[in-house]
Amino acid sequence: MGRTITDRRLVTILVADVVSYSRLIGADETGTLRRLKALRRDVIDPSVTSVHGRIIKTMGGGFIAEFASAVRAVSCAVTIQQGLARHEAEIPDDRALRLRIGINLGDVVVEPDGDLYGDGVNVAARLEPLAEPGGICIARSVYDQVRDNLRYPFQDRGELELKNIARPVGVYFLSASAIVGLAGTDEQAPEPVKTSNRKPWKATAVGAGFLTLLAAGGLGWWSWTASKAPAPNQTIAAKLAGETREAPRLSIVVLPFSNLSNDPEQDYFADSITEDLTTDLSHLAGSFVIARNTAFTYKNKPVGVKQIGQELGVRYVLEGSVRRSGERVVVSAELISAETGAQIWFDRFDGDQSRLGDLQVEFVARLARSLDVQLTEAESLRSLRERPVNPDASDLAMRGWASLNKQRSIANNNEAIRYFEQALKLDPTLPRATLGLSRALMNKVLNRWSDDIQSDTRSADELVNRYLEKFPHDAAALVVKGDVFRADKYFDAAIAMYDAAISDNDDFAAAYAAKGQASTLSGKAYAAIPNVLQAIRISPRDPLVNVWYYFVCHAHMHMAQWEEAISWCNRSVAVSPYWLPYIDLAAAYAWVGHDQEAKAAVSELLKLTPGYTVKKWANAGWSNNPKFLEEYKLIVDGLRKAGLQEE
């Protein structure tokens, strides 16, 4: 559980900051922020995660992290500096990002929100400016812990007076040149595993407590996962060497987007979309994505997609373009089969030129989500075509996710469950099937399709805990775990899980939507709408958008805003029939005196859920929050007014 009072502990603190951050921002704000985001995503966050560290906070171009071990902290610092050097190798020196890092071992105060304070942090913050760009500066307390374990050539600089620190501190330096020369030594931290951490972890009091509880208990809807499951054993090198092995499932190259405008600024924008989308797709479970540097060798070259597919060993090619039309920016994207050259999917997005920085984030999020769905569907159909009688476990898991990605219905959900259960019979440890089955079971529970809510909830919980044990930072799994808490009516814990998912992947629309619905259930309907609208903004054509429209409708119902509720629930059923919006439509129409519309909504409800009654709704047990229940009575009374049968 989260701490209710302050605590103290001995930890190793790492403080890092970008050299000349203000100057870099002043010279090129957009480019600097883009590269800094990529640095955190590709180098810093994975390096910290790989040695079980925790990023406490970020500020401007810097961050603070804690580690249980001094050896891990120093190893991580070296890994980060080496990764940064590679990351910025092609950037001119006057524009390249460089970090200074300070590390101290000391006693700290732990606040309820997970933040750390005290001299242990302050000393590390004073050591950081003493490091040279690309270098590391550590306190003697750290050096004493690592000198026999890490044979790094630290230089003893004696005891130094540090500002606002009562006593002199023994200081040791590790230069940038020495760090570069450490490549290949045994003492370095293991190569970080790629994760989808979009921004550093920020633990809340409840979030940190429940994650600790999960870890102690043995520990996650979508094929989109933050910690990707093991990818197929296939490399570009093997392809180029002439092997004839079949291209991996979900293998794709994102070709450089073309700039169709006479605007040089769009060149940067097009390249940025290509780079960010390549990174985002690499986090899709089981994906094989060609690296950015290789993809860019095809820029402005008239090479056919079939040839590209053969050269790179991929099944799919994504092509796109950026065009400025007046004050609008239009991005088009096309998914093509590298084997047949046929177009699989096409879409177009547009936005205001004045919001170019925000548009990049929005477009990449929408493209990534759309491609997740399209690639999963394409591979599912492919497996049905090529192995209709004897599918393997991965085929079955892919088919299960394709069913989940369809419009939400009991038939699609049951189909997904069958596929996942068959996959787990063939491979009981298959991550995608484990997560998929937990997701599908929670769909049954939350949509009241389950005949045994308690049993299905416990089964989903067991599955998602097993998955989180292997992939603790998987945003999709954290959402499923939040749904388990929501079903058990632990709404604060559910929201903490959704916040953790958002912290891990701030473009994960499902987490925002789920957080919104949990807010309504906890008696805070006013807080639900901004979160659900954010989900819709990130993924406006999502297969679940009809459910999200309903979440907005239901929040308005709990605030007795009948007209607004009617508008949103009508938007929901216009996308796809769904039984819950008809509940709210019937009640809302009855309260505003539109009796014919209320009766029509009741009729549609009974087509989807024959025999449904007022009593069933009154006793549905969505929440035990007093405010929610008080508001809920108005919906129950509205159903009576609409003419729904009582018993």
Assign residue 88 the CATH number of its domain: 3.30.70.1230
Mean pLDDT of 505-514: 84
Tell me, what CATH number does 548's domain have? 1.25.40.10
Q: How many CB atoms lie within 10 A of CB 337?
A: 17
- Do 152 and 250 belong to one domain? no
Residue at a domain's end among 162, 177, 193:
193
pTM of the model: 0.56
d(CA 509, CA 522): 20
- Nearest CA among 546, 536, 519, 525 for reference residue 635: 525
**156 and 289 co-located in one domain:** no
Contact yes or no for 179/133 (Cβ under 8 A)? no
Q: Both 146 and 289 in a single domain?
A: no
User: Tens of pLDDT along 149-182?
Assistant: 787 888 888 888 777 777 888 899 998 888 887 7
> 209 pLDDT exceeds 50?
no
* Position 137 pLDDT exceeds 80: yes
Same domain membership, residue 34 and residue 181: yes
459 in a structural domain: no
Same domain, 29 and 173: yes
CA gap 395, 419 in Å, rounded: 9
Q: Are residues 380 and 254 in the same domain?
A: yes
> Is residue 546 predicted with pLDDT exceeding 50?
yes
Averaged pLDDT, 277-305? 75
Q: pLDDT tens-digit profile of 448-492? A: 899 999 999 999 999 999 888 888 888 889 999 999 999 999 998
What's the pLDDT at 157? 83
* Residue 105 maps to a domain: yes
Q: Are residues 183 and 246 in the same domain?
A: no
Q: Are 158 and 255 in a shared domain? A: no
- Greater confidence (506 vs 601) lies with 601
**Average pLDDT for 204-232:** 36
Q: Does 525 lie in the same domain as 377?
A: no
Distance, in Å, from the CA atom of 476 to the CA atom of 81, rounded to the nearest integer, reads: 30
Q: What's the pLDDT at 196?
A: 36
61 and 128 co-located in one domain: yes
The confidence score (pLDDT) of residue 474 equals: 82
Residue whose pair of structure tokens reads 């709704």 in the numeric block = 617
Phi, psi of 632, rounded to the nearest 5 degrees = -65, -30
Q: Which residues form the domain of 531?
A: 508-647
Average pLDDT over residues 593-620: 94
**Residues 607 and 538 reside in one and the same domain:** yes
Domain membership of residue 640 (yes or no) is yes
Does a structural domain hold residue 524? yes
For residue 309, the domain's CATH number is: 3.40.50.10610
Nearest Cα to 92, choosing from 1, 164, 27, 161?
Answer: 27
Question: Is residue 311 included in any domain, yes or no?
Answer: yes
Quote the DSSP letter at residue 377: H
Instruction: From 335, 355, 386, give the residue that closes a domain.
Output: 386
What is the number of domains present in the chain? 3
Asked whether residue 392 is assigned to any structural domain, the reply reads: no
In a domain, 408, yes or no: no
Domain termination site, one of 386, 404, 421: 386
CB contact at 8 A, 335 and 374: yes
Q: What is the pLDDT of residues 404-419, one digit of tens each?
A: 877 778 888 999 999 8
Q: Give the number of other Cβ atoms within 10 Å of residue 245's Cβ.
A: 12
pLDDT score of 114: 58
Whether 228 is covered by a domain: the verdict is no
**Do residues 189 and 242 share a domain?**
no
